[in-house]
């Protein structure tokens, strides 16, 4: 069976966002494991969907919005996802929730892992995101990568390179190991369903 395709999703879209930096760092780190997985960065800026405005979730009725259709086709192409997310008022950015709502069968029976950044490493947002993933019939994994506290301030405000935080690589290794186990298991199971 081919190696799983994993999307790294940048979950904020504002002009001066920080999200690019951890997404790029993670993509480069994960690319070292090209024998195990293929990664691609997905940027929600490339899918400017309106606030959800369909007759129903596409679990029940096909979406009419062309960007939404393009988003659904892109999401469908992956075997697992890593959400790189900020925390906005203790939850996930609204643009990410909207993008999650705009697909349903495309997320089903696939694993999700998380990299959060912010004062508490987006821990509260990631916990909510795990619950959303359950409703989307995904398998959220345990180990997250969290850039938090003084370390977040140093990389966000002072431009400290993420490569100077070695614990991130340790956490990312465990996160990827868990994600790949589920991605391979569920990929096999989906072909037999």
Ligand X SMILES: Cc1cc2nc3c(=O)[nH]c(=O)nc-3n(C[C@H](O)[C@H](O)[C@H](O)COP(=O)(O)O)c2cc1C
Binding residues for ligand X, total number by CB under 6 A:
14
Instruction: Say which DSSP state 88 is in.
Output: B
Question: In terms of CB distance, is 14 or 70 closer to ligand X?
Answer: 14
Stretch that binds ligand X, among 15-23, 29-37, 42-50, 164-172 (CB under 6 A): 15-23
Q: Is 88 in the site for ligand X (CB under 6 A)?
A: yes
Q: Which two tokens stand for residue 115?
A: 């990299």
Question: In terms of CB distance, is 31 or 94 closer to ligand X?
Answer: 94
Q: Is 19 in the site for ligand X (CB under 6 A)?
A: yes
Stretch that binds ligand X, among 95-103, 115-123, 128-136, 174-182 (CB under 6 A): 115-123
* Cβ atoms 2, 35 nearer than 8 A: no
CA distances from residue 165 to 47, 48, 100, 145, 170 in whole angstroms, order as listed: 32, 33, 30, 11, 10
Contact pattern from residue 156 through residue 175 relative to ligand X, giving x for each residue in contact according to CB under 6 A and a dash for the rest: x-------------------
C-alpha–C-alpha distance, residues 39 and 60, integer Å: 30
List, as one string, the DSSP characters of 15-39: TT-STHHHHHHHHHHHHTTTTT-EE
Q: Is 89 in the site for ligand X (CB under 6 A)?
A: yes
Stretch that binds ligand X, among 30-38, 80-88, 96-104, 180-188 (CB under 6 A): 80-88
Give the 3-state secondary structure of residue 87: coil
Q: Is 116 in the site for ligand X (CB under 6 A)?
A: no
Cα 53 from chain centre: 23
Q: Which positions touch ligand X (CB under 6 A)?
A: 12, 14, 17-19, 86-90, 118-120, 156
């Amino acid at each position: 069976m081919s190696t799983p395709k994993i999307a790294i999703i940048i979950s904020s879209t504002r002009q001066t966002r920080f999200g690019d930096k951890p997404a790029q760092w993670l993509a480069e780190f994960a690319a070292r494991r090209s024998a195990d997985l293929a990664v691609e960065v997905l940027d929600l800026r490339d899918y400017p969907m309106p606030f959800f405005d369909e007759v129903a979730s596409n679990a029940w009725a096909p979406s009419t919005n062309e960007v939404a259709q393009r988003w659904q086709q892109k999401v469908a192409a992956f075997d697992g996802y890593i959400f790189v997310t900020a925390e906005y008022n203790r939850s996930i950015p609204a643009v990410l929730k909207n993008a999650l709502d705009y697909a349903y069968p495309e997320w089903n029976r696939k694993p999700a892992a998380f990299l959060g950044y912010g004062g508490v490493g987006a821990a509260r947002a990631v916990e909510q995101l795990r619950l959303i993933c359950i409703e989307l019939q995904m398998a959220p994994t345990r180990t997250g990568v969290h850039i938090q506290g003084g370390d977040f301030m140093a990389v966000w405000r002072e431009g400290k390179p993420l490569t100077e935080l070695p614990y991130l690589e340790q956490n990312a290794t465990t996160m990827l190991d868990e994600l790949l186990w589920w991605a391979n298991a569920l990929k096999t199971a989906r072909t037999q369903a």
